[in-house]
Structures are given as C-alpha cells and as structure tokens.
Amino acid sequence: MLAPRRLLPVLFLEAANLTSGLGNAVIMLDVIMLAVPRLVLQETGSAAVPIVSSRSTRGGRHASR
C-alpha cells in the first residue's frame, strides 16, 4: 500500500481522468443530438423522426413471409 503522501498525486490523476471522461461524454452527447436529426432531415426531407417497420425492405434483406 502506498503511503498517504505518495497516494495523493495518484488520486488527483484519477480525479482528472474522471473529469476528462465526463467532459468527453457530454460533448459526444451534444454531437449525437445534432447529428441524428440532421441525418434524418437529409435522408427523408422531413425533420420528423420516421417510424421504422420491422418489415422494412430497405437495406438489402427482404422479409420472407
């Protein structure tokens, strides 16, 4: 076990790492919230989110029923 004096820098490093990871997660959430509606608008021409059917044939596989 590390002495308390040597443990403090390691704890600060871990706290900085956690803070950085949380910041990156928030940024990625913002990017996703902007990119998904933009992609839907680009693909469909409408800002409304389309309801995708499980029997959709777009994408190559056809339902065999």
Q: Which residue has the higher pLDDT, 7 or 48?
A: 7
Q: Is the pLDDT of residue 13 over 90?
A: yes
pLDDT bin (cut points 50, 70, 90) of residue 54 is low
CA angle 45, 38, 30 (to 5 degrees): 160
Q: In sequence order, what are the residues at sequence separation of 6 or more whose Cβ sits closer than 8 angstroms to the Cβ of residue 37?
A: 47, 49
Kindly state the tokens that stand for 48: 């409304």
For 12, 27, 49, 65, the CA distances from 60, given in Å and listed in that order, are: 52, 34, 22, 16
Q: Where are the domains of the chain?
A: 1-44
pLDDT of residue 52: 60
